[in-house]
């Protein structure tokens, strides 16, 4: 947030390590299928949105420093957005003020925000407070923030932000991505499940799965739902068969007579955006103790990175898993690298109860 050229220049000593930390966090997010969003402040020519009663922004009325097309309002080139990133423009201190950030987040199903930017006493607390009131889960990256006053920076991180957010270093957050975006330990949660008649089938203990348990569940799944993002930035979901080879997900494109498979929506979407999500679950209407689901964030591996040996292994794995494929040819095999894995399962009533998962 606010890592704009004219703002970064004010923090000459701290700017380089700050941008390096933000770059590390952004690269890890992209690699794990986590959306990266940049927030900048920019004002229209003539500043019609600036009220003179606003002390912080009133001075911008006669300045072009933050006009929409000015060099100073652009994201600093050291942390330049990538094609898959989203840039949001705001009109006040908070990232939500005068922007469509909340709409973007909810449209993409985002419920956890990881905050970084300039300054610790400016955009970070303003955004954190508003996000907390909007019921987002929050993480603040300690070394992804900087402030002109070191003592204010320390107090906010150590005593204020921790009341509403997890305060982590970039490396701590990256290390926890595989165990959930907040890097929290597994905890038990008690929930009530309603049956069709409106009654209750009792309390079901729900457990967050470890990475190994997510992999085990994926290997046992008969099929899944592959979600890709179309040109309208909405989701296309299609049921798919899949197999796991060398920790990669492989799913086939069936060869269909007289049909041009290159026009399939999922292929067009993946050509535009290599990110995808695979959803798998298992449940029994009359036995909630057997419930589990896993969400895998994926990134399609480009064709030149798929070797002949890998194609052979993927082909064999699909034919071994699915009888219907043993006498058919595939039009294409799609291979995906797996990033973040998130999963839950229901456990028996004998499991120990602790605090609910936050």
Nearest Cα neighbor of 114 from 180, 40, 41 is 180
Q: Which residue has the higher pLDDT, 103 or 189?
A: 103
Q: What pLDDT shows up at residue 170?
A: 92
d(CA 187, CA 112): 18
Q: What is the mean pLDDT of residues 276-294?
A: 81
d(CA 338, CA 299): 7
Q: What pLDDT shows up at residue 19?
A: 92
Domains, the chain, with CATH or none: 5-176 (3.40.50.850), 188-347 (2.30.110.10)
Lowest mean pLDDT among 29-33, 77-81, 245-249, 254-258: 254-258
Confidence bin at 341 (pLDDT 50/70/90): confident
- Average pLDDT along the chain: 82
Q: Which residue has the higher pLDDT, 181 or 315?
A: 315
The rounded percent of the chain whose pLDDT value lies above 90 is 49
d(CA 91, CA 42): 6
Nearest Cα neighbor of 211 from 118, 296, 109 is 296
Q: What pLDDT shows up at residue 49?
A: 86
Let me know: does 335 contact 310? Beta carbons within 8 Å. Answer: yes
Q: Tell me: pLDDT of 285 over 70.
A: no
Q: What pLDDT shows up at residue 257?
A: 57
Q: Which residue has the higher pLDDT, 185 or 276?
A: 276
Q: Which residue has the higher pLDDT, 77 or 62?
A: 77
Q: What pLDDT shows up at residue 349?
A: 27
Q: What is the mean pLDDT of residues 15-34?
A: 90
Nearest Cα neighbor of 219 from 256, 265, 250, 258 is 250
265 C-beta neighbours (distance < 10 Å), count: 13
Q: Tell me: pLDDT of 288 over 70.
A: no
d(CA 11, CA 3): 11
């Amino acid at each position: 947030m606010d890592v704009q050229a004219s703002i970064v220049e004010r923090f000459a000593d701290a700017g380089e390590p700050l941008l390096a930390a933000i770059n590390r966090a952004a690269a890890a997010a992209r690699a794990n299928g986590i959306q990266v969003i940049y927030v900048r402040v920019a004002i229209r020519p003539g500043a019609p949105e600036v009220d003179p009663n606003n002390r912080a922004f009133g001075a911008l009325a006669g300045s072009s420093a933050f006009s929409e097309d000015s060099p100073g309002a652009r994201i600093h080139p050291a942390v330049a957005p990538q094609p898959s990133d989203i840039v949001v423009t705001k009109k006040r201190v908070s990232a939500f003020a005068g922007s469509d950030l909340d709409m973007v987040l909810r449209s993409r199903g985002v419920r956890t925000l990881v905050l970084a930017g300039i300054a610790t006493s400016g955009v970070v607390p303003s955004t954190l407070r508003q996000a907390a009131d909007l019921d987002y889960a929050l993480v603040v990256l300690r070394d992804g923030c900087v402030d002109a006053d070191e003592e204010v920076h320390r107090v906010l991180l150590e005593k204020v932000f921790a009341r509403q957010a997890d305060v982590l270093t970039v490396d701590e957050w990256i290390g926890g991505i595989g165990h959930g975006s907040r890097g929290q330990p597994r905890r038990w949660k008690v929930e009530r499940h309603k049956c069709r008649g409106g009654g209750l089938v009792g309390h079901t203990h729900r457990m967050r799965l470890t990475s190994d348990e997510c992999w085990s569940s994926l290997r046992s799944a008969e099929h899944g739902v592959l979600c890709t993002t179309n040109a309208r930035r909405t989701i296309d979901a299609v049921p798919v068969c899949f197999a796991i080879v060398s920790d990669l997900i492989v799913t086939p494109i069936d060869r269909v007579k007289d049909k041009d498979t290159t026009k399939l929506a999922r292929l067009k979407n993946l050509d535009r955006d290599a990110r995808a999500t695979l959803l798998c679950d298992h449940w029994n209407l009359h036995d909630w103790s057997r419930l589990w689901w896993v969400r895998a964030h994926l990134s399609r591996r480009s064709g030149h990175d798929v070797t002949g040996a890998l194609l052979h292994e993927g082909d064999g794995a699909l034919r071994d898993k699915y009888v219907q494929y043993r006498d058919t040819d595939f039009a294409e095999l799609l291979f995906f690298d797996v990033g973040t894995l998130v999963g839950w399962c229901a456990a028996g009533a004998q499991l120990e109860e602790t605090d609910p998962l936050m």
